[in-house]
Amino acid sequence: MPSLQFKGRVFVENFHLGAPFHELTPVRARGTSPKASLHDNLIVEGDNLLALKALLPTYHGKVKCIYIDPPYNTGNEGWAYNDRVNSPMMQAWFGRVVDREDLTRHDKWCCMMLPRLKLLRELLADDGAIFVSIDDNEAHRLRCLMDEVFGEENFVATVIWEKVFSPKNTAKHFSQDHDFILAYARNLEAWTPNLLERGERAVERYRNPDGDPRGVWSSSDLTARNYYSLGTYEVTSPSGRKFKPSVGRYFVVPQRRFRELDEDSQIWWGPKGDGVPRLKRYLSEVREGVVPQTLWRQTDAGHTQEAKKEIVGILDFEKSEDVFNTVKPTRLIRRILQVATDKDSIVLDSFAGSGTTAHAVLALNREDGGDRRFILIECEDYVDSITAERVRRVVGGVPSAKDEALKAGLGGGFSYFKIGAPLRKESLLDPSKLPSYEKLAGYVFFTATGEEFDPGAVRRDDWFIGRSRVHDVFLLYTDDVEALKNLALTKRIAEALPGGGRQKLVFAPTKYLDQELLHRCGVTFQQLPFEIYESVEKLER
C-alpha cells in the first residue's frame, strides 16, 4: 500500500513506542467525583500523546468510540509542534507556532498526527470506530495516514457536515459551508453502525391516500438502469394508459410478479389511476430506524453558530468572539454517539477543546438512560477554566439554559488527572535512590488498579497497601538494600496474608512457591521490577 512521505517521518514512525509511560496524578479538587478513579469519567490535563500512552494499561482495546477534532492546520490556529523527538531537525521545530508562512507546516502536522493515531488505534475496541473532523487543508493527508494506521479496508465513510447556518457572501471564491468527518472502524467486519431514529419528516412521507388496510405507505420507482431481461414488458394502468420503461431502464420484477403485486393493491397508479406505476412500501414493514447517511445537514447535526451560542450560554462569556472558532455543536457529537455507541460504551476525545464530547455523552445518557463514559484529554491552559468548567456546569445545571434537562443538570461526574512524572522501571530499584515504601506503594497501587491510592490504608505489618474493586493489594518491599535482597513471597507469608475471601494481588522482588500454591492462596503475583503494563488487563479479569 502506498505510504505518505513527509519531512520528519523517519523520526516519528515509532516515537509512540519509545515514549515513556507517565504517572496520572489525580487532582480531586478539579473533579466532581468524591474519589478520583481511572474507571470514572475522565478529564486528563497534559500532552495528548503522553496521556494516551498513560491510558493504555487501563483502556487498551476498550474504547468503543473515538472522536477527535485536531488542528485543521489552516495557518491561523497558533498550534506548535512539541513532541520531544531526539533529532536536531525536529528540535528546531519545538515551540514554533505553525502559521501560513511555515513551509513545513504540513510536515509538522503529519508528524504530530501519526504517533497519536497509532496510540488511538491501540485503545480502540475491536468493534469500535474512530471519527475525525477535518477540512480541505489536511483532508487528503489525513486520509492517507488513516489508511496506513487503520487499514484502507477499514474505511467506513467520509461524512460531509453542513457546518454553517447561512452562506458567507464575503468569501473571496467559495463559501466554505462544510467540514469532513472521516470514519474508520478498528475492524470493519466486527463493526456495525446503529440505525438512526426515523425523523418526523421521514415519517410524514408515509401516507394512505387509497385507504389501504395495511396502513400508511410510501412509494418507490419500479424501474432501474441495470439490465434485466424479464423487465422489458408493457403494463396498462386502471385508466387504460400503457407504460413501458424508458430507454435504458427496466422493471425490477418480472411481469408475473408485477401482476401479483397489482392484484394485491401494492402498485400505486396515482390518485386518478393513470400515473407511472410505483411500488408501495409500508411503514409497518420497514426497519425500525434508518441507515446513517454521509450528508449531515445543520438541521440534524447543528452548526457552528449554534455551537458558539451553546458555550457562551453555559460559561457566561461576554460575547461569542471570546470562544475559539472551532467549537463543535453538541448535536454533531450526539449524532456520532447515536451511530457508534452502545449505552455502556467508553468514548474518547483526545483533542477535547471546550468539552463538547463530554456534554454530548452526558446529554445522551440522560435521554436514553445510558451509562456511557467519556475520557477527555486537553493540553491547553484553558483545560480547567473552560473544558472542565463546562462539564462541571453541565453536570450541576445551567440556570439560564432553555433546555429543561440542562437547566436541572445532566448528572454524572468526573475525575480530573494531570500527566505526572515518567515511569521508568529501571530506576524503581536503583540501589542509590530506592523509593520509600509509601511512594512505591502509591505507584504500584495506582498503576495496577487505576484507582486512587489512600496512604492511610497502608499496613506495613502485613504488607497491605489498599483495596481495589477486584483485589486486596500487597507490597513486599523495603528501602533497605540488603534486606531487599532477601525479601521474597514465601508459603508462610502467602498463607498469612489477610483477605476475607478476596483475590490478592501481591508485588514482591521474587517468590518461593509454585503456581498451584499461589492459586490455592488466592494470590496473583507480580515481580519487582515488574512489567505492569502487560499484566493490567489480566489483573482486571
CA distance readout (Å), 533 to 157, 186, 464, 468: 34, 22, 22, 17
Q: Determine the Cα–Cα distance for residues 105 and 76; give it in Å rounded to an integer.
A: 11
In a domain, 532, yes or no: yes
Same domain, residue pair 392 and 505: no
Give the number of domains in the chain: 3
Same domain, residue pair 504 and 474: yes
What's the predicted TM-score (pTM) here? 0.78
Supply 288's cell numbers. Answer: 425500525
Same domain, residue pair 75 and 98: yes
Same domain, residue pair 395 and 303: yes
The per-residue pLDDT for 265 is 95
Q: Which among 333, 309, 335, 334 has a CA at the least distance from the CA of 322?
A: 309
The per-residue pLDDT for 330 is 98
Q: Determine the Cα–Cα distance for residues 53 and 491; give it in Å rounded to an integer.
A: 37
In a domain, 3, yes or no: no
In a domain, 516, yes or no: yes
Q: Of the residues 379, 399, 419, which one is the last residue of a structural domain?
A: 419
In a domain, 14, yes or no: no
Domain with 472 in it? 422-539
Q: Which among 30, 63, 33 has a CA at the least distance from the CA of 45?
A: 30
Same domain, residue pair 262 and 296: no
Report the run of H or E that residue 131 belongs to, with start and end. Answer: strand 124-134
Spell out, as residue ranges, where the chain has pLDDT lower than 70: 318-324, 423-433, 529-541
Q: Which pairs with CB-CB distance under 8 Å and at least 24 residues apart come from 244-252?
A: 249/223, 249/224, 249/225, 250/223, 250/224, 250/225, 250/226, 251/222, 251/223, 252/222, 252/223, 252/224, 252/228
Query: Judging by beta carbons within 10 Å of its beta carbon (0-12, 13-18, 19+), is residue 456 exposed, middle or buried?
Result: exposed
In a domain, 30, yes or no: yes
Q: Determine the Cα–Cα distance for residues 82 and 19; give it in Å rounded to an integer.
A: 13
What CATH number corresponds to the domain at position 147? 3.40.50.150
Query: Looking up cell 495516514, which residue turns up?
Result: 145
In a domain, 171, yes or no: yes
Same domain, residue pair 182 and 129: yes
In a domain, 8, yes or no: no
Q: Of the residues 419, 442, 458, which one is the last residue of a structural domain?
A: 419
Query: Looking up cell 485503545, which residue turns up?
Result: 123
Q: Determine the Cα–Cα distance for residues 12 and 4; give it in Å rounded to an integer.
A: 13
Please give the angle made by the CA atoms of 385, 391 and 396, to the nearest 5 degrees. Answer: 115
Same domain, residue pair 34 and 150: yes
Question: Helix or strand or coil: residue 116?
Answer: helix
Same domain, residue pair 61 and 148: yes
CB atoms within 10 A of CB 166: 10
Same domain, residue pair 158 and 255: no
Per-residue pLDDT reduced to its tens digit, 89-135: 888 888 888 988 888 999 999 999 999 999 999 999 999 999 999 99
Sign (positive or negative) of CA dihedral 462, 463, 467, 468: negative
In a domain, 11, yes or no: no
Upstream peptide bond of 271 is cis (omega within 30 degrees of 0): no
Per-residue pLDDT reduced to its tens digit, 287-332: 778 899 999 999 999 999 999 999 999 998 764 445 567 799 999 9
Pairing state between β 503-508 and 471-475: parallel
Question: Helix or strand or coil: residue 122?
Answer: helix
Supply 393's cell numbers. Answer: 456546569
CB atoms within 10 A of CB 291: 10
Hey, what amino acid is at 305? Q
Same domain, residue pair 143 and 35: yes
Q: Of the residues 419, 449, 477, which one is the last residue of a structural domain?
A: 419
The per-residue pLDDT for 170 is 85
Same domain, residue pair 322 and 395: yes
Same domain, residue pair 84 and 151: yes
